[in-house]
Amino acid sequence: MENFEKFPYFSDDDVKIIAYCPFCEADLNPVKVRVIEAKEDKQLVHIQCSKCKTFIIALLLRTLNGLSSVGLITDLNFDDVFRFKDTCQLEADEIISLHKNLQKKDVCKNILELK
């Protein structure tokens, strides 16, 4: 398994729990894995499938019962994930408010005039 950064708290065997690409179902060995953030009992990693080039973000958790992982397919490359990981979260009300404001004719007209 090709690691760009060593997993300080997990071995390469632990990372093999992510056995296949959820998009193309190809074997993820060899795989490009980069650590986004690591703590003693968990690691957030960015994975790229060597076959279809799909990006996956996975959370690896070490518990008393063993190792588990949760992953999701994304279009974010490693640099995007690293850049956005510490940004503030938007609340649902903020997004709804933004949507309503963008629907107003004056706002849309002003945006179109900026182009």
**pLDDT per position as a tens digit, 11-54:** 555 555 566 787 788 876 656 788 888 888 888 889 888 888 88
pTM of the model: 0.61
Gyration radius from the chain CA atoms: 19
Residue 95: inside a domain: no
- Could you list the residue range(s) of the whole structural domain that residue 53 is in? 2-86
Beta bridge partners of 66: 63
Residue 111: inside a domain: no
Residue 35: inside a domain: yes
pLDDT of residue 84: 84
pLDDT of residue 75: 92
Residue 93: inside a domain: no
Torsion over CA: 100, 105, 111, 112 (sign): positive
Q: In angstroms, rounded to a whole number, what is the distance separating the alpha carbons of residues 22 and 27?
A: 10
Report DSSP letters for 49-86, one per residue.
Answer: -TTT--EEEEEEEEETTEEEEEEEEES--HHHHHHHTT
Number of domains, the chain? 1
Residue 54: inside a domain: yes
Residue 25: inside a domain: yes
**Tens of pLDDT, residues 67-105:** 788 888 899 999 998 888 888 888 899 888 888 877 775
76, 84 in Cβ contact below 8 A? yes
Residue 101: inside a domain: no
